[in-house]
Amino acid sequence: MKFHPVSALTLGVLSAVPGALGWGAAGHEIIATIAEIYLHPTVMPTICAILDEDAKPCHLSSIASWADRVRWQMRWSAPLHYVGAHDDHPSDHCAFPGERGWNGRAHMNVLGAIRNVSGILEDWVEAREPEYVGNGRASVGGEGDPTAAEALKFLVHFIGDMHMPLHLTGRERGGNGAKVTFDGRVTNLHSVWDNFLIAERIRSIPYNYTRPLPSREVESVLRGAIYDPYVRRLIWEGLGEGGRWRDEWNNWLECPATPAKDTVVKTWRQFFLGSTLSQLLSGSGIAEETDDDVLCPYHWAKPIHALNCKLIWPKALDELGYSDININTDSNQAHDCHGHAVEEEVGLLDDLRAKPKPHEPYLELDTPEYAGVVRREWIVERLLAMGGMRLAGTLNWLFADLSGEEVQSRPRLWAEPLRV
């Protein structure tokens, strides 16, 4: 089958949707969409009941960016989107976390947050187990639960953040302070990975993927978003029966067999004794305190973090000496600035086609040696797919209504590679 680039009409439609793209928007929603495809059939009804969205179309993608939208109202949550180590300095050396541990406030990072929001939801399920006996978890009804809903929204988002490598290093606010150019536009390293690489892939998707796949599992989850063709391609060429990750995707959910030690998780019942959600979310972030044999954010994140030294932080960036600021990564203010750059998302697709001459000769990253490698090796696509599968596995573990035999084996993914 011959593939064709996206038509000019499609490009016009894409460029008319400013601010829609970025790991803070499209990237998170793509991860959530992939996860929904691989959920056990009993999971989405429970999720919709928690969110009190039974009366309208309910999808994981609709909540995937919520945590970014509220981070300035819930300022305590800002450090929970990332993690950085004192001794980490890509591309020279990568420490995760190294002898001096994590920087920033103790126990406030994305790894501990994933552990703890999962614990909140697990306790929510355990407190309601009698409701499910003989009826299935979908019978919880549509009354909603505000605290469980917040924990769920944070979980969907934080698992996405963990799969963006620059959210795992504190150097120059995860690359926000490292100026570069991409396709001639002055930007920063974080925005290249947050925004530009995904946007460029979406605007150049083969035309074939604008048409539905012969898979109800895929098409029933898509919502008519501009990234739908991209999701179809990830499934067809990546996760499908003959996809490039067919021999590895099931290993993405593997965790070390050693149970966690001293896992810091507040119970759901403690919430009713006076704990606030911000206190419930404050977990630790080292392997012994975040990982067990089912959920292991540190184990999953470590090889993602290593990409910062292998590829993402170019050595040439240090050789040229282009950085915006020298920042004290121990300061709370520095960490609060580690988020998605909103101004970079506005008019992004138009900016990709424009090539204003930079005022200074910053390092260009839209080159065969950098962006070309990312495209050829499907590095962004693999991270998005990995995040989606791990999110699906986590939600299945939390909410799937399984028979006794299934519970013994604790299957993490419901669907096998889709036959598309």
Catalytic residue set? 23, 28, 68, 71, 81, 157, 161, 167, 190, 194
Cα gap 48→149, rounded to integer Å? 9
Sign of CA dihedral 280, 281, 284, 290: positive
Please choose, from the candidates 28, 70, 24, 64, the residue with its C-alpha nearest in 3D space to the C-alpha of residue 47: 64
Sign of CA dihedral 24, 29, 30, 35: positive
Hey, what amino acid is at 247?
A: D
Contact 389, 253 (CB under 8 A): yes
Please choose, from the candidates 121, 167, 132, 33, the residue with its C-alpha nearest in 3D space to the C-alpha of residue 394: 121
Structure tokens, 27: 């990237």
Structure tokens, 191: 């925005």
| CA-angle at 28, arms to 60 and 207, nearest 5° | 95
Give 420's contacts (C-beta < 8 A, 6+ positions apart): 213, 214, 215, 218, 235, 236, 240, 241
Contact 313, 287 (CB under 8 A): no
Structure tokens, 132: 């499910």
